[in-house]
Structure 1
Amino acid sequence: MKFTSIVAAAIVLGTAVQAQDMTISQWTGPKHPVAVGYAPFIAKLTENGFNVQQFEGGALLGATPALAGIGDGIADMGMLAMTYFPAEFPNAQLVADMGLATPNNLAAMGAAIEYNLLDCPECLDEYKAQNVIYLGTYSTAPYTIISNVPIRETADLSGKKVRVPGSLWSRWAQKVGAIEVNVPSSEMFEGLDKGALDVAIQAPGALQSYQLWDAAKFVTTLNLGTYHSLSLMTTNRDWWAGLTDEQRQLIKDQAAQVAVDATIAYTEADTEALAQVDEHGVEVIEPTAAMNADKDAFVAEDLPIIVSNAESAYGVTDAQAKVDTLQGLIDKWSGIVEETGGDRDAMIERLNTEVFDKLPADYGMN
């Protein structure tokens, strides 16, 4: 756990501005990709008159208490993982269920942000009901198969005990004949080490961040989609209303940077971990064409289930139209990622022009 206090007087264009206190609470640690995204943002705030106190590692609010804590003003800003709150955010569960349809994390990030901010007024209403504001998301890198036995074909998963990160991957595990095991990520290492798990569905960076390479000696790089249904910069509405127009605009202007940097940091964590696998005796297995085809078939077959679950389990209306919209945005942002080559500055610019610049001046104020 870490507590960082950043206090500074700011001068904007040579004119002193009124200091604004701000508390940021993160349940992730100081080396997490979220911290990478937030660091330039906090520096920019500090330069412009904000007195920021940042709590990390759950020192102020944990992952589950974060929603009520931010809504009640214990913290002014922080992150939410939306699948922790299905009753409060039914529409966010639909976004999460599209994870296996995302080809890469930058496309997933862009699609989720545009959908929430411009195409889903019901989503924004759900945040308003909790007295918070949504200002974007990041996306994990694509999940893969990290295992203590080699997984070279889909059939190798049959009967294996698989730690799944959510209901979407539970359905996939059932489809391939695996035995789903629901344990928190903090228990992945022990499970793999003691044989309670054969497989953990995680991005390759977990080999390093969770030290899984000491318990699992194989990673099959089958793209099992992304986790991107988050609220990266969840903001208390009352605190937001107390800011000046200029202060609110400053935060909106930085939202794309936070999202892109956190998302890219996930990819860089994968690259760093995969560069060290030989030192830890981990074999990287490329998925066969048949494995990829099996996964693609599951994605196609699962779409009607996503629609049905959204309507029956979460009470989402017009679920098919929303799935179609999300799929169109995934295609759109896949094209943007290809066009920009995933360049950081280019992606920030496109997020601003395509999404954030289109927000009304009074966003979050009514």
Structure 2
Amino acid sequence: MKRLTALRSTLTAAALLSVATAAGATDIRYATGFAPGTTGANTAIATAEKLSELTNGAMKMEVFPQSLLSFGEMNAGVRDGIADAGFVLLPYFPAEFRNTGMIADLTMIFTLKNTGDRGGLAWTGALTEYIMLNCDACQAEMAAQNQVYTSTSATEYSLMCTKPLGTAEDLKGLKIRVAGANWSRWAQDVGATPVSLPQNELYEGLSQGIIDCTISGMTEINDAGLSDVLKAVMVDVPGGGFGGSAMMNINRDVWQSLSVDERMAYAKAATFAGAKLAWDYRVGNTKGRETAEAKGIDVVDADAALRAATEEWIHQDFDGIAKLYAEKYALKGTDESVATFMQIFEKWTGLVANVDGAEALSDLIWEQIGTKVDFNTYGM
């Protein structure tokens, strides 16, 4: 096995090196909705550096943070070539990404499996494997949007509010910003009102009372300056994480214009991007919690009754997700799709148990997935 791994690594390195010997340079315009200086934008810049490093400067990526396209504009912008590639948030476009959206609705598994701060790492590998190697319907959705999928990143989310938290009674009547359908259903179940609000408007929304809470990663406490407006953070309820990112989706025409070696190089850089953002959000969530505690924000777990009620709700919701998407979007084989993904996620919880950094996670994902993709045909 070690010999095979070494051979694969040698062949990959040789292929990437050949990109550098090709005539001319290839420039990729990459758009992200993250603001400059945030964890998301910094990861995009690091990915541009990685792509250049992998190809000895033959491929370059110019990053446009929160300028060329917003998150809400990203799907159409990448589809139509306004950007060559971009960070597409799949739950923002439920009608276009139905199959992938269904899987993104399953992140409450973090709570049921008690994955702690490694749920996002496991999801990053699992969703990448599912889409690239196991989901023809997902690939068809990407193709219909004139895009090619190359990577995912995920992180754990917490409930962060301008009001005290702890019990089910505290949640009633609150306006909660949600980033996915699963949290919308949960908010309604506990008597709150789910609100859709762009990620870059969190501070304004909370400070102006448009929303009382946001379900987001604790990284945003620092990235979005939320420590100035928050009163409480509930770490464990409702739980879950954002698992619907297509972080490095690339315009299909651009992808098909690349050589095989360039496609492999881009995919390897995309793998790094997903791994780095997942890891950096893991670190950022810890730092966000530290900031909250230092500023006197209550960082709490739900009381036993709310925790138990939420876990019961998650079990019931899980049982209905496949049926919900089959009925709402006329999807076929939803039970089988959910079962397949859950098996993959279970595997990845074990694979990431001892991962100690972004590079290690990137190498793991590439070995498990990237080496099994035929870039002669993928996305073609």
Name the TM-score, length of structure 2 as normaliser: 0.85
Q: Deviations over 1:73-97 (max 9, x none)?
A: 2222111111122222111210221
- Cα distance in 2 for residues equivalent to 1:192 and 1:72: 34
Is this contact kept in 2: 1:37–1:257, CA < 8 A? no
> Secondary structure in 1 aligned to 2:242?
coil
Structure with bigger helix share is 2
- 1:52 counterpart (61, 74, 78): 61
Q: Deviations over 1:20-40 (max 9, x none)?
A: 232222222232333333333
- 2:196 counterpart (177, 182, 185): 182
Aligned length, in residue pairs? 354
Which consecutive unaligned segments of at least 5 residues does structure 1 have?
A: 1-9
Q: Which amino acid in 2 is paired with 1:27?
A: G
Once the two structures are superposed, the pairs formed by residues 1-366 of structure 1 within 5 Å of their partners are 15=21, 17-46=23-52, 47-57=56-66, 59-102=67-110, 103=115, 104-139=119-154, 141-223=155-237, 224-338=239-353, 340-366=354-380
Deviation at 1:190, TM superposition (A): 4.2
Q: Which amino acid in 1 is paired with 2:255?
A: W
- Cα distance in 1 for residues equivalent to 2:336 and 2:89: 24
Q: Deviations over 1:241-295 (max 9, x none)?
A: 2222221221122222111101111122222222222442212113344433322
Is this contact kept in 1: 2:19–2:261, CA < 8 A? no
Q: Which amino acid in 2 is paired with 1:74?
A: I
- Cα distance in 2 for residues equivalent to 1:14 and 1:204: 40
Cα distance change of structure 1 residues 261 and 275 upon mapping to structure 2, 3 Å threshold: same
When structure 1 is superposed on structure 2, of 110-119 and 46-55 the one drifting more is 46-55
> Secondary structure in 2 aligned to 1:99?
coil
Cα distance change of structure 1 residues 363 and 233 upon mapping to structure 2, 3 Å threshold: farther
When structure 1 is superposed on structure 2, of 318-327 and 344-353 the one drifting more is 344-353
> Secondary structure in 2 aligned to 1:65?
helix
- The sequence identity of aligned pairs, in percent, is 29
Cα distance change of structure 1 residues 30 and 170 upon mapping to structure 2, 3 Å threshold: same
Q: Which amino acid in 2 is paired with 1:215?
A: V
Which consecutive unaligned segments of at least 5 residues does structure 2 have?
A: 1-15
When structure 1 is superposed on structure 2, of 225-234 and 32-41 the one drifting more is 32-41
- Cα distance in 2 for residues equivalent to 1:147 and 1:106: 26
- Cα distance in 1 for residues equivalent to 2:196 and 2:26: 42
- Cα distance in 2 for residues equivalent to 1:14 and 1:212: 44
Cα distance change of structure 1 residues 18 and 277 upon mapping to structure 2, 3 Å threshold: same
- Cα distance in 1 for residues equivalent to 2:271 and 2:255: 18
Deviation at 1:49, TM superposition (A): 1.0
- Cα distance in 2 for residues equivalent to 1:286 and 1:118: 37
Q: Which amino acid in 2 is paired with 1:145?
A: L
Cα distance change of structure 1 residues 156 and 342 upon mapping to structure 2, 3 Å threshold: farther
Is this contact kept in 1: 2:175–2:192, CA < 8 A? yes
Q: Deviations over 1:74-121 (max 9, x none)?
A: 222111111122222111210221121133211121111111111111
